[in-house]
A and B are shown apart, each in its own frame.
Chain A
Amino acid sequence: MRKEEIKKVVREGYAKIAKQDSSCCAPVNSCCGSTDLAQDIGKSIGYTEEELTAVPEGANLGLGCGNPVALASLREGEIVLDLGSGAGVDCFLAANKVGKNGRVIGVDMTPEMIERARENARKGNYGNVEFRLGEIESLPVADNSVDIVISNCVINLAPDKRRVFTETFRVLKPGGRLMISDIVLLKELPDFIKNSIEAYIGCLSGAIIRDEYIEAIKAAGFQEVGIIDEASFPIECLANDPTAKAIIENLKIPPEEVKEVASSVTSIKVYGVKPN
């Protein structure tokens, strides 16, 4: 697939997710169970109960793979940029930490997600969060302007990951930090998964080998780059996740292959600093 096509299918895929959840499960009643599922996924990837209740209902869609805000040591007054902000969960958590003198900017390329995030900001009465329709490979953000960049399970979806890291480096102030959660590979995936659009949207086939990922962050200029935490994907998790389930069913992956795929995928939390 060409890069433009990838972006198009990713956008369409996430537009669908943004719409589905709001039409079916809003506001509290979980007729299809996805609100509860999102909460369960949320807890399993590192959000606390308190954090999940502190953000507007519907801000957590269960699409992340970590809790970057918890690890980011945010300080009062800081400017935070969230790459691929979705319905806004991490932006709202960050907003609670940086306070009214701080600022959080969420960038997402899917209009339906931005729309949901904006609604959530209104519901929660957040005055220090703003959302922009934009692309993480071409950030609409000035040079040296933010204190910290966070991202949760999004960069794997970008066709040009090196460019995402170069852009991130550019917008950070000297001394600024990077704190991301993402999916990476421990070994290459079989071709039939690599070529699957569903698996791309499901954060699998866009993922790259862990060492290449870390190398791309270093190549952008970051220092003190390190993996703070790494968690393998429990096989039950892969089998329960609706996206993964759809992939397994659509591609008719035999159970032993599922195990193999699960052991190739891992989620990492990575830190880096732009030197002074």
Chain B
Amino acid sequence: MDILACPVCKGKLELSVEEENEKEIVTGSLYCPKCDVHYPISETIPNLLPPDLRH
């Protein structure tokens, strides 16, 4: 978590977990309070593409 940063402002992200197993977080999200953007975690992969590049 301490290596993760918002791709836009490079600020710290707040983690919220929806589902996790013994090894990793399966679904959840990472929130950047500065940019007010949620980055989803789905199937253990955080989607940290800048918002304008997301599908």
Contacts and interface: CB of A to CB of B under 8 A. Distances in A.
Q: Are A and B part of the same complex?
A: yes
Interface of A: 4, 7, 79, 103, 105, 109, 111, 114-115, 118, 127, 131-135, 138-143, 145-146, 170
B3 A146 contact: yes
B26 to A, nearest CB: 12
Given A7-B53, A132-B46, A133-B45, A140 B7 contact: yes
B43 to A, nearest CB: 8
B17 to A, nearest CB: 16
Contacts of B46: 132-133, 140
Contact of B45 (A7, A79, A114, A139): A114
Contact of A142 (B10, B23, B39): B10
B44 interface: yes
Interface string B36-49: 00010001111111
B50 A132 contact: no
Contacts, number: 59
Interface in B5-36: 5-8, 10, 12, 23
A143 B10 contact: yes
A111 B48 CA distance: 11
Most-contacted residue by chain B among A7, A114, A138 (CB, 10 A): A138
A141 B5 contact: yes
Contact of A133 (B4, B8, B48): B48
Contacts of B49: 109, 133-135
Describe A's contact surface by its main secondary structure: mixed
Given A135-B50, A135-B53, A140 B6 contact: yes
Describe B's contact surface by its main secondary structure: loop
A105 B2 CA distance: 13
Contact of B2 (A4, A118, A145): A145
A138 B7 contact: yes
Contacts of B8: 138
Given A127-B23, A133-B46, A133-B48, A105 B53 contact: no
A103 B8 CA distance: 23
A78 to B, nearest CB: 13
A168 B3 CA distance: 14
A244 to B, nearest CB: 28
A25 B12 CA distance: 41
A142 B2 contact: yes
A40 B3 CA distance: 36
A91 to B, nearest CB: 14
Contact of A141 (B4, B50, B52): B4
A131 B48 CA distance: 11
B51 to A, nearest CB: 10
B4 A140 contact: yes
Nearest to B32: A140
Nearest to A142: B5
Contacts of A114: 45
Most-contacted residue by chain B among A114, A127, A135, A142 (CB, 10 A): A142
